[in-house]
Structure 1
Amino acid sequence: MRDVEHAMQAAFVRWTSVCRIPEIELSHAVPNGGQRSKATAGRLKAEGVKPGVPDWQWPVARGGYIGLAIEFKSPGEGPTKEQRDRINALQMAGWLAVLCWDWEAASRVVKGYAGMIKLEFS
C-alpha cells in the first residue's frame, strides 16, 4: 500500500474507533497491499490471500446488502483489474463494494450504510 493510501486508511480506522456506530467493531482491514518477499507471498497465498480484495470490510448486513467493502485509492489512481473484478464479484454477491479516494468519503459511505445519513448507492 502506498504511503498516501496508508495515511488515508489509518485516518479512517481512527474515525471508526470513535464514531459510535453499532457493530463497527466487527470491521477489519485486509492487509493485501505492499511489497512482500517471495517466501512471504507464497505463505500468504497458501493461507488463502487473493489479489484484489478490498482494503476494509464490514461483514454486517444493512439496507439490503450483506456487507460493506471499501478499496482506498490515492487521488488520481484507479483500481487494478483484480480489484475491479473483485469489487464486481462482491457486488454480484450482495455486498456494497466501493472505491474511496479520501477517508472522509469512506466515513460518509459508512454513515450512509449504517443509516445515519441519506446516501444513494447504485
Structure 2
Amino acid sequence: MRNFRLDDESGNQEALFSWAGYNMQRMPELEFLHHVPNGGKRDAATAVALKRQGVKAGVPDIVLPAPRAEYHGLYIELKAGSNTTTAKQKRWLKFLREQGYYTAVCYSWRLAAELIERYLLHTEELAKEQETITMR
C-alpha cells in the first residue's frame, strides 16, 4: 500500500479502501464497500445544491451492504485523532442500529478493517450490542 496521511479522516479512508482493494479476492463483498461523501468543505452554492439533492448531515462515512447474522449491513463512522461524533452522527447511528444494521465508530483505518473482516468472516464474534460500538 502507498503511504497515506493518517492524521485526518480522508487519509484513513484512502488507506481503508486501498486495503479493501487488496482483500477483495478473500472477501468479494468488499467490491460494494463505499463511502458516503456527506462531509468536507464546500462553497455555499455547492452545499445548498447538495442539500437539495438529498445530502444529509450525520450519515456514517462507510457502508457495506452485505447482511450477516441478524444484521442487514454495516455502517462505520470513521474518525481520526481526537475527533468525536456529532449529535447528528449519533442520531443516525442509533437509528441505523434500531433498523437492524451493525454500526461502529472506528478511530483508524486499521480498526475499521479489523471490524469489516470480523463482520464478513467471523460473524459469530459480533456481540449483539444494544448500542453502536466504538473502536479506539
Is the TM value for this pair above 0.5? yes
Which residue of structure 1 aligns with residue 63 of structure 2? 57
Pair 1:107-2:113 in alignment: yes
Q: Quick one: structure 1 residues 85 and 117, their matched pair in 2 at CA, closer, same or farther if it must change by over 3 Å?
A: closer
Confirm or deny: 8 A CA contact 2:119 2:126 kept in the other structure.
no
Pair 1:84-2:112 in alignment: no
* Matched positions, count: 121
Pairing partner for 2:81 from 75, 83, 90? 75
The Cα offsets for residues 62-116 of structure 1, whole Å up to 9 and x where unpaired, read as 1210010111111222100000000001000111111000111101110111024
Segments of 5+ residues of structure 2 without an aligned counterpart are 1-6, 130-136
Segments of 5+ residues of structure 1 without an aligned counterpart are none
Confirm or deny: 8 A CA contact 1:109 1:119 kept in the other structure.
no
Q: Residues of 2 paired with 1:82 and 1:62: CA distance?
A: 26
Which residue of structure 1 aligns with residue 9 of structure 2? 5
Report the RMSD for the aligned CA atoms in angstroms. Answer: 1.7
**TM-score using structure 2 length:** 0.82
Identity of aligned residues (%): 37
Greater than 6 Å deviation, 4+ residue runs: none
